[in-house]
Amino acid sequence: MSDRTQDPAQDPHLPVPQEDQDASTTVEAMGVREGMFGVRGTGDTSGYGGLVKTTLFPGASRRPYGGWFDEVADALEARLGATDLDGAIERVVIDRGEITFHVRAQDLPFVAQMFRDDEALRFELCSGVSGVHYVGDTDRELHAVYHLLSMTHNRRVRLEVGVPDADPHIPSIVSIYPTNDWHERETYDMFGIVFDGHPALTRILMPDDWPGHPQRKDYPLGGIPVEYKGGSIPPPDQRRSYN
Amino acid sequence: MASSTDETPTDYYASGSETSDGRVFTVTGQDWDSITAGLGGLDDVEERVVVNMGPQHPSTHGVLRLILELEGETVTVARCGIGYLHTGIEKNMEYRSWVQGVTFCTRMDYLAPFFNEAAYVLSVERLLGIEGDIPEKASVMRVLLMELNRISSHLVCIATGGMEIGALTVMTIGFRERELVLDLFELITGLRMNHAFFRPGGVAQDLPPGALDEIRGFVALMKKRLPEYADLCNANPIFKGRLVDVGHLDLAGCLALGLTGPVLRSTGYPWDLRKTQPYCGYETYDFDVQTWDTADSYGRFRVRLAEMWESLKIIEQAADRLARLEGGPVMVADKKIAWPSQLAIGSDGMGNSLDHIRHIMGESMEALIHHFKLVTEGFRVPPGQAYVPIESPRGELGAHVVSDGGTRPLRAHFRDPSFTNLQATSVMSEGGMVADVIVAIASIDPVMGGVDR
């Protein structure tokens, strides 16, 4: 985790922290954005094509988190401390009033079970899993994001698991939250994340023999050029556009 | 494959007897005797019959495919096949600006377009950090349209559910009232469905003149018409005979399978995000969460019927507030986010207001640049992710929206309640009669546009 926190002194792309900046805010580099109009080389007469900007996501938060976030984190630490899984939570991110626990992939079933069953946590309902493909997050390209809801305490948390594109395996939590049956199938279908232990991990939205996983960033949108009054408009993913 | 040298042309469709497992009979009805007679001569006969229902069947709520294993008329295994309406909306949204995304997601659950839009724009607003800046009038208009939409969606559920069990009058009156709601939508947004009316920062347009009178007239009419449903169905012995104790799912089953909405409330648990985790100012409206305690299809019908009354209460309150807020802004004040022009009716229909065109073309070069940049490039959203769930007519609808700081979403995923709730098909219908499968699915009220997205 510490090697992923960027040091502004070493990276020219990062903004220099201001004196009055809150010490508890950190950032997490998730990729680099280059150019502005999708134009490269000699076609770029504006100079904006040379822009380079690091994509900075909200990074790990530090205690105190505030509100009930600390109660949940305390309960979690107390339970994890009793086991040998101290490192199961890679970091905790609090952003825009939502709390995200980044969980180590192999510990997800244990953590999910705890979130469901622990009296202080009691997250009875899982709102499913959503995949995200962060191309620039090296060795953690594919993220699975779970939203849990505690109806007892009226709270929501997010669990996030990042796995490398080369070995996209996450343990299934269908045995803990049966609702994730179809959600995990959809995430496998769309991103190619393999949920080990799922009772029947097959495609669900795409045809069974479909090649590729459509929601990945390296999968093209598809489409054909549209001609109108002599002009030809390329499909959306091939148009010049702001990035 | 180097074949086709023989005389017979290749048949691209499997014939009636070609299958990987067992014999196939094409059943058209009234021919059970001939089928059993056909099986009689075989030694390896087994009782198990696999019936493929759909994807094109009038009783499967769109292109839903059911694979049923029957023993006589009893369902032993029920499975769903979905994906026939997958349109790649989530993928497409990654190639459009943040504002354009609304026009895509409104098409997902086509019976509840405003809820799709609301889940998306609320998530985008949280990412932008402008949740507190939304004008009150925009929030009230959103609530008004969502509650009208809840009525029209519940009406379709009750109407099609009635049609599927042969109660055609329920269908005709259900669609009669739904039409009135769609007329209101057309008056306010210009379209009957696929509105794209909610935008990040507010709504696209102010209410047209006379809209509040129409809404009040509709509420008054609905108060006369809604009792008709109760009179027709509530104590109807045939209706109850088909619905009572069918599709049973208790609270523990609902939570394990992630079911929310009327199915959850029919178990007696008053979980409604409008009350428990309010958004758009729902905490300031006076309404009750409706529950039932039978956890069956009949209970879900009664919950929906009662919720329409609650929606009418909210609509009345919203209409009163809108009367007070006449002339107020409907879009966030931040001109870096707000769509630059408001639409207006012109000689050639709906379009950019002439005042705005005059302003950018004749008066202010800066305004023209600003308009151009917002329309072609759009605004940028700070990196991060947000998940804002709302209470759609079918349960928890949430949009997980991720931004990488660009002008387009990195990812927009919708947790659609139809998709999740449809998983209960097996547990609701296995062990029951084949005719009850239809009733159980109708009580879930899945909309395939939302399931497949």
pLDDT digits (tens, 9 = 90+) for B324-354: 988 888 998 888 888 877 777 777 777 778 8
Predicted local confidence at residue B24, as pLDDT = 67
Q: Looking at the complex, does the CB of residue B64 fall below 8 Å from at least one CB of chain A? A: no
State whether A58 and B384 contact (CB < 8 Å).
yes
Out of A83-97, B170-184, B223-237, B262-276, pick the least confident: A83-97
Predicted local confidence at residue B44, as pLDDT = 55
State whether A130 and B415 contact (CB < 8 Å).
yes
Chain B residue with CA closest to A34: the answer is B406
State whether B82 and A179 contact (CB < 8 Å).
no
User: Contact, B390 vs B273, CB < 8 A?
Assistant: yes
Predicted local confidence at residue A161, as pLDDT = 94
Distance, in Å, from the CA atom of B227 to the CA atom of B197, rounded to the nearest integer, reads 31
Which of A127, A237, A241 is opposite residue B398, by nearest beta carbon? A127
What does the mean pLDDT of chain B come to? 86
Give which of B272, B299, B232, B247 is closest to B391, Cα–Cα.
B272
Which of B94, B413, B422 is opposite residue A130, by nearest beta carbon? B413
- Min Cα–Cα distance to chain B from A91, Å: 15
Measure CA of the first residue to CA of the last residue in chain A; give whole Å. Answer: 28
- Min Cα–Cα distance to chain A from B104, Å: 14
**DSSP string for residues in B333-378:** S-TTTS-S--EEEETTEEEE-HHHHHIIIII-HHHHHHHHHHHHT-
Q: Once rounded to an integer, what is the mean pLDDT over residues B364-392?
A: 90
Taking one residue from A and the other from B, the number of pairs with CB-CB distance under 8 angstroms is: 131
Q: Once rounded to an integer, what is the mean pLDDT over residues B174-202?
A: 91
Residue A147's SS3 state is: strand
Which of A98, A134, A179 is opposite residue B387, by nearest beta carbon? A98
Q: Phi, psi (5° rounding) for residue A47?
A: 90, -15
Residue B132: is its pLDDT beyond 70? Answer: yes
Interface of B with A in 99-128 (CB under 8 A): 126-127
Best probe of the B interface among A99, A149, A213, A218, by most B CBs < 10 A, is A149
Four-residue CA torsion sign, B77, B415, B268, B148: negative
Buried b (16+ CB within 10 A) or exposed e, B15-31: eeeeeeeeeeeeeeeee
- Min Cα–Cα distance to chain B from A204, Å: 6
Predicted local confidence at residue A8, as pLDDT = 43
Predicted local confidence at residue B2, as pLDDT = 43
Predicted local confidence at residue A74, as pLDDT = 87
Confidence of residue B63 (pLDDT cuts 50, 70, 90): confident
Out of A189-203, B26-40, B302-316, B396-410, pick the least confident: B26-40
Give chain A positions within 8 Å (CB) of B77.
none
Structure tokens at B258: 């992630």
Give chain B positions within 8 Å (CB) of A58.
383-384
Give which of A171, A215, A94 is closest to B413, Cα–Cα.
A215
- Min Cα–Cα distance to chain B from A108, Å: 18
Give which of B321, B24, B18, B268 is closest to B147, Cα–Cα.
B321
Distance of CA B101 to the CA centre of its chain: 17
| Residue owning tokens 């509100």 | A67
Longest dimension (CA), chain B: 89
Which of B255, B404, B453 is opposite residue A124, by nearest beta carbon? B255
Predicted local confidence at residue A237, as pLDDT = 83
- Min Cα–Cα distance to chain B from A29, Å: 10
Share of chain B above pLDDT 70, in %: 89
Distance, in Å, from the CA atom of B364 to the CA atom of B369, rounded to the nearest integer, reads 9
Q: Looking at the complex, does the CB of residue B284 fall below 8 Å from at least one CB of chain A? A: no
Q: Phi, psi (5° rounding) for residue A32?
A: -130, 135
Out of B42-51, B190-199, B266-275, B432-441, pick the least confident: B42-51
State whether A55 and B404 contact (CB < 8 Å).
yes
State whether B258 and A95 contact (CB < 8 Å).
no
State whether A128 and B95 contact (CB < 8 Å).
no
Share of chain B above pLDDT 90, in %: 50
Residue B214: is its pLDDT beyond 70? Answer: yes
State whether B376 and A204 contact (CB < 8 Å).
no
| Bigger pLDDT: A120 vs B181 | B181
Q: pLDDT tens for residues B22-51?
A: 666 666 666 667 766 666 655 555 667 888
State whether A207 and B83 contact (CB < 8 Å).
yes
Distances (CA, A) of B253 to A21, A87, A178, A198, B241: 48, 33, 10, 19, 24
The type of residue at B60 is T
Which of A127, A179, A183 is opposite residue B256, by nearest beta carbon? A179
Q: How many residues does chain A have?
A: 243
- Min Cα–Cα distance to chain B from A181, Å: 8
Predicted local confidence at residue B12, as pLDDT = 56
Residue B131: is its pLDDT beyond 50? Answer: yes
Predicted local confidence at residue B165, as pLDDT = 86
Predicted confidence pLDDT, tens digits, chain A (243 residues): 444 444 444 444 444 444 344 445 688 888 888 877 767 777 777 777 788 888 888 888 888 888 888 888 888 888 887 887 777 888 899 888 899 999 999 889 999 999 998 888 899 999 989 999 998 888 899 999 999 999 999 999 999 999 999 999 999 999 999 999 999 999 999 999 999 999 989 999 999 889 999 999 999 888 889 998 989 988 888 887 777
Best probe of the A interface among B122, B410, B426, by most A CBs < 10 A, is B410
Which of A33, A127, A130 is opposite residue B258, by nearest beta carbon? A127
Out of B16-30, B74-88, B159-173, B219-233, pick the least confident: B16-30
Give chain B positions within 8 Å (CB) of A57.
383-384, 404
Q: Once rounded to an integer, what is the mean pLDDT over residues B248-266?
A: 92
Which of A96, A178, A206 is opposite residue B83, by nearest beta carbon? A206
Give me the residues paired with residue B50 across strands.
B69
Give chain A positions within 8 Å (CB) of B91.
214-215, 221
Give which of A131, A126, A130 is closest to A178, Cα–Cα.
A126
Distance of CA B313 to the CA centre of its chain: 22
State whether A132 and B385 contact (CB < 8 Å).
yes
State whether A178 and B256 contact (CB < 8 Å).
yes
